């Protein structure tokens, strides 16, 4: 079955602390994974994609096929990182399924 699992509904960290948002997936093919973010009162938007191996706003995510994971990390959280984060999986034909989402709250 194709599935994206984000085990944490809420993650609260202090400003300057490291943050890791967990994502695990289940997919029989070669996975194409993404992180999308929704800031308060804004629309859902792409944060980063695994295929690009990029760092956006200090966030990185590494695909670990052995552990079927794609965790999102940032070494030093900022208050403006507070948002809803969704891990997503392209299941073919550009169809994308989403995890349940993790709300990140960065405290001052």
By CB under 8 A, name the binding residues for another protein. Answer: 34, 36, 43-46, 49, 51-52, 86, 88, 93-101
Which residue number, 5 or 15, has a Cβ lying nearer to another protein?
A: 5
C-beta of residue 79 within 8 angstroms of C-beta of residue 15: yes
CB 90 → another protein: shortest distance, Å? Answer: 8
CB 51 → another protein: shortest distance, Å? Answer: 5
Residue 85: other Cβ atoms inside 10 A = 23
CB 92 → another protein: shortest distance, Å? Answer: 11
DSSP string of 54-84?
--BTTBEE--BTTTTB--EEESS--GGG-EE
């Amino acid at each position: 079955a194709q599935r994206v699992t984000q085990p944490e509904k809420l993650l609260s960290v202090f400003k300057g602390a490291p943050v890791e948002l967990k994502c695990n997936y289940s997919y029989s093919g070669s996975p194409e994974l993404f992180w999308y973010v929704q800031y308060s009162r804004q629309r859902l938007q792409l944060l980063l994609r695994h295929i690009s191996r990029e760092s956006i706003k200090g966030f990185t995510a590494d695909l670990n096929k052995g552990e079927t994971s794609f965790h999102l990390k940032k070494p030093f959280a900022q208050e403006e990182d507070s948002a809803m984060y969704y891990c997503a999986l392209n299941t073919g034909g550009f169809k994308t399924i989403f995890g349940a989402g993790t709300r990140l709250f960065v405290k001052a």
